[in-house]
Structures are given as structure tokens and as C-alpha cells.
Amino acid sequence: MKDLAITTERLLLRPVCTGDLDVAAALGADPRVMAWFGGTLTAERSEQWLRRQIEHWRAHGFGRFAATFGGVVVGFVGLTRTEYDAGFIPGIEIAWRLAFDHWGKGYATEAARAVAREGFERLGLELIVGVTTPGNTRSRRVMERLGMVHARRRLRASARARGGSAAASRRVPAPQRAIEVSVSSSNQGPPLPT
């Protein structure tokens, strides 16, 4: 895993490790960061989240990266195989979680673009989805900058989702019942402009 680092114009992305626990706990405890994730996490739940991310790397050969700027971890960005029924299983979701102090600097887009490219090129993925709640306009804008296409219909059949049009619902804390999905596929032309 250690040799899977990705370098962008400003960031170094490396697979998450146990040494990222302090950052994971700080992000999980910040209500601004966690507002769209159903609320804050205890230190114990953040540790469980981090352990799941590390195990995901071991099981699948890909996962969340720690995004660093100037040697400081600014957040986590990566790909995750979905394990819940959101209408696009089997599917790979791209996600990001950055420290509030680093919002608005383009790090999420820069890191997600590199991670998606890794998914299409190294992993040979044909489809990557991004999931967010309707009100999370910041994440929606990142998805748009990545060239992802908003899925307007709710579908249960994963086969239709693989065709490039998907929407999803999953169990989330009220009032965040609606989930929106954007998709990017390797056959939509150049999915990620440089």
C-alpha cells in the first residue's frame, strides 16, 4: 500500500494508516465537517471508521487516501466499494472529507480528480459514483467540477445504474432522507479534465 502514493499539483495522497487517527478523530468531532454525514462521531467511532478504511485497502487494493499539503493531512479522499443497497451495487463510490480550515481551496476537487483517474486507469473501473444529500451544495459542486452527471431518477435496479443514469436512497438519519447520486463513467469521453 505504501507505494500507492499519488502526487497532484499541490497535494500528496497516500493510503490511510493508523497514524491518521488524530486527524480522523478531529474531523469526526467537527460538526461543520460532519453536518452532511449524519452528525459528529466519538473518538471511538472515528477509530472504527479509520480501521474500516485500512481494512478496505487490504481487501480491495484501493480505498481512502490521506490528502496532505505541506506535510499536513488536510482530509481524506478516496474510493470505496459500496456495501449498502443504494441502487448501484456493485459500485464504487468516490468520497471526500476535509478539515473545515481547508475548505474552499480546491483540495477536494484536486484530490478527487486524481483519485478518479486512478480508478479509471489503474483499477480499470467503468463507473464511479458520488453520493450526497440534496442540500450539500459544496459536494455537488465538486462532483460537477469532476464532470460527473447528476442522476435525476430514483432507481432500484443496479443494471440501469450501470448505464449511466442512477439515483439512490439509503437509510440515513432524518431529515437527510433523499440521497443524490452523480456518475462518471470511463466511456463518457474525457471524464476528468486536467
DSSP helix/strand/coil, 4: coil
Q: Which residues pair with 66 in a beta bridge?
A: 14, 76
Task: Tell whether pTM > 0.75.
Answer: yes
Query: Is the CA virtual torsion 63, 83, 103, 151 positive or negative?
Result: positive
pLDDT in tens, 73-111: 999 999 999 766 555 556 789 999 999 999 999 999 999
Sheet architecture: strand order including 127-132: 6-7, 12-15, 64-69, 72-81, 92-98, 127-132, 180-185, 149-151
In whole angstroms, what is the distance from residue 74 CA to residue 24 CA? 10
What's the CATH class of domain 6-185?
alpha beta
